[in-house]
Amino acid sequence: MSKLTKIRLRNTFIYQIFVRNYSKEGTFKKVEEDLDRIKDLGVDYVYLLPIHEIGEEQRKGKLGSPYAIKDYYSINHEYGTLEDFEDLVAAVHSRGMKVMMDIVFNHTSPDSKLIHEHPEYFYRNSDGEFANRVGDWWDITDFDYTKDKGLWRYLIDNLLYWTKKGVDGFRWDVASFLPLEFLEQAHEEVLEINPDSLFLSESVHGHFLRFIRNEGFECLSESEIFQVFDMAYDYDVHDYFLDYTYGKISLNEYLKEIIRQDEVYPKNYIKMKNLENHDNLRLAGLVDGDPVKIDAWTSFLFFTKGATMIYAGQEKSAKHTPTLFDKDTVDWSGRDLSTLISNLSDLSHREIFAKGIYDVHLLDQDVICAGYKYEGKELYGVFNVGAIDEDIKLPIEDGIYTNLLTAKKVDIKDGVLKNIKEPLVFYVR
């Protein structure tokens, strides 16, 4: 873990936006018009998927993936102009929020500006052809960081350019594929301009890491990633979450993996937790729109140790996962979770969430019970993720407590909480 990482970043709430699909217009200006609503959710960082011009060669879909970038200094004209982007950054800052942008430094589109100007920067296969290391990513071609340090200088200069434009942090696409020495240099130079710049790693799933290494390529583990980055995706546990929702494993098998994070990562580690994103299915779709499960999982997401991210539309219980390759506007008509999320964000910014001792209790029911202890205070959360219709047995002392999410009273008697569906967060002392 970077020794510079501040533990308070565990309180961070990130809101992910794919500009193309955020609105019918798909522009920066439409995002800007919605910033007051986003601010009311309690958001700290507005995170934008790649905003650059997309390559045309070997496109997936009609409009192409935003991760097949043609020019790192460009703005996708469909979103607006550079001035529109700068206006959006200024508008985010004026509301006390920050901007994070996606950085894709593993590859470019096959017709990128760089591949024409500096073909020596790119990976070639055994036949001498430009290629990528992952077969189904056929709309991109990979860099080769071992050939020419000019590539390093070009990419770091690009980071510095966007930092000077007011960007407050960077989400690094497949960061595990990049050389640690390059990442360290990039981090150091960005911090010289903005000492508070946030580095978020999309470090890859463990099984994917093993696959890439077994193919003969380099791939960083999270023990290496945490030497540079402030926080990393929780892909080490996400597959267990999916397996539980699909009925393949028990809830406790998933919870044990969350507990394991404390055992294997540095003391000040920060996981960026998310139930859905542009690569994963929508939560509401996974649980068939069950409002009890949606509320429970959303609440546990904010209660779990670490930073939190939601994908635009999640606050409206959107079921459909928009494609990356074509126009596919978010469905904003679903059940509104904005009040719940705002309350959860307010709670998760308390000091106890950053500095408290966190524990997850393993119960015999499909209910999550977790808690924090800090400076004599004990905060508990109870989340009925299985939507069970029965009394809940809890390792919490008897008493009448106030649910901080609703201000309602809850009664634990003889270690039992009567059948209750709504998420609970309460202080025991």
Specify whether the CB–CB gap between 102 and 134 falls below 8 A: no
Burial group, residue 87, by CB count within 10 angstroms (0-12, 13-18, 19+): middle
Helix axes 338-348, 291-303, angle to 10 degrees: 20
Percent with pLDDT over 90 in the chain:
90
Residue 284 pLDDT greater than 60, yes or no: yes
CA 284 to chain centre: 17
Percent with pLDDT over 70 in the chain:
99
Tell me which residue of 63, 72, 65, 70 sits closest to 112, measured CA to CA: 70
Average pLDDT of the segment spanning 98-110: 97
User: Cα-Cα-Cα-Cα dihedral of 248, 249, 250, 252, to 10°?
Assistant: -150
The per-residue pLDDT for 210 is 87
In whole angstroms, give the CA distance from residue 404 to residue 278: 31
Architecture of domain 7-349: Alpha-Beta Barrel (3.20)
Pairing status of strand 141-142 against strand 409-413: unpaired
Residue 408 pLDDT greater than 60, yes or no: yes
Backbone angles phi, psi at 259, to 5 degrees: -60, -40
In whole angstroms, give the CA distance from residue 12 to residue 95: 16
Burial group, residue 127, by CB count within 10 angstroms (0-12, 13-18, 19+): exposed
The per-residue pLDDT for 3 is 56
CA 279 to chain centre: 11
Specify whether the CB–CB gap between 61 and 323 falls below 8 A: yes
Question: Model confidence over 11-27: pLDDT tens digits?
Answer: 999 999 999 999 999 99
Residue 119: pLDDT band with limits 50, 70, 90? very high
Specify whether the CB–CB gap between 384 and 363 falls below 8 A: no
Q: Are 7-349 and 368-427 equal in CATH topology?
A: no
Query: Which residues are CB-neighbours of 279 under 8 A, at least 6 positions away?
Result: none
Backbone angles phi, psi at 140, to 5 degrees: -140, 165
CATH class of 368-427: mainly beta
Alpha helices in 44-104 (DSSP H): 82-94
The per-residue pLDDT for 216 is 81
The per-residue pLDDT for 273 is 97
248 forms beta bridges with: none
Q: Can you list the positions of beta strands (E) in 227-349?
A: 231-233, 271-273, 307-311
Specify whether the CB–CB gap between 113 and 119 falls below 8 A: no
Question: Model confidence over 212-267: pLDDT tens digits?
Answer: 888 888 889 888 999 999 999 999 999 999 999 999 999 999 999 999 999 999 89
Q: Look at phi and psi of residue 74 and say left if phi exceeds 0, alpha if psi is from -120 to 50, else beta.
A: beta
Residue 1 pLDDT greater than 50, yes or no: no
The per-residue pLDDT for 294 is 98
Query: Which residues are CB-neighbours of 254 under 8 A, at least 6 positions away?
Result: 237, 240, 241, 243, 244
Question: Model confidence over 128-182: pLDDT tens digits?
Answer: 888 888 867 889 999 999 999 999 999 999 999 999 999 999 999 999 999 999 9
User: Cα-Cα-Cα-Cα dihedral of 91, 41, 25, 336, to 10°?
Assistant: -160
The per-residue pLDDT for 205 is 80
Residue 4 pLDDT greater than 70, yes or no: no
Query: Which residues are CB-neighbours of 263 under 8 A, at least 6 positions away?
Result: none
Pairing status of strand 409-413 against strand 169-172: unpaired
Q: Domain extents for the chain? A: 7-349, 368-427
**How many CB atoms sit inside 10 A of residue 37's CB?**
11
Question: Model confidence over 343-389: pLDDT tens digits?
Answer: 999 999 999 999 999 999 999 999 999 999 999 999 999 999 999 99
Average pLDDT of the segment spanning 287-307: 97
